Amino acid sequence: MLFSTKAEYGVRLMVELGRRAGDGEPQDSEPAALAAVAEAETLPLSYLEHLVAKLRQAGLVSSVRGAHGGYRLARPASEIAMVDVVEALEGPIAPMECFHTEREGRVLCSHETDGDNHCATKLLWTRVQGGVTKALATTTLAELVEFAGPPPAREPVAAPVA
């Protein structure tokens, strides 16, 4: 199963916001300018603007307006599961186009409506979807932030010599 650059770049964006948040409450952290995140991760700013809108809509990040505004996590990194991030960006996780999961968690296969009551591959794709979903659901943003390590130290701006 391949995820698109939406998932890859979105997770990288979230990790960078998590690194900048530190260990405190998200609302106490300095908001990060999206341009700074794009530069730190060498990602296209215009694409990050699109992704951060989806993450904001999903309640995973919040924005702060103003001269020192930007984005920060909407809740602690330990409370953000990667399944929430990936689904906010990619939509429902489905290993095949014919595979659909209802809200109740029931798996439907579009081939079952073709007159055949049993799809021969439904069991396989159900297990694949369950494995991927479980891996994403049990991985938190905090784990990825810890794995990435602290953000590089920012060099202090030298005062002009008089």
Q: Which alpha helices (H) appear in 22-121, and where do they start and end?
A: 34-41, 45-57, 82-90
Residue 70 host element (H or E): strand 70-73
Report CA-CA distances (Å) from 129 to 95, 120, 136, 137.
6, 16, 11, 12
Tell me if 43 sits within 8 A of 13, measured CB to CB.
Answer: yes
For residue 120, what pLDDT is reported? 75
Tell me if 148 sits within 8 A of 15, measured CB to CB.
Answer: yes
For residue 83, what pLDDT is reported? 96
The low-confidence residues of the chain, meaning pLDDT below 70, are 1, 23-24, 26, 28, 97-118, 152-162
Considering only CA atoms, which of 22, 77, 76, 13 is closest in space to residue 48? 13
Look up the pTM and report it.
0.81
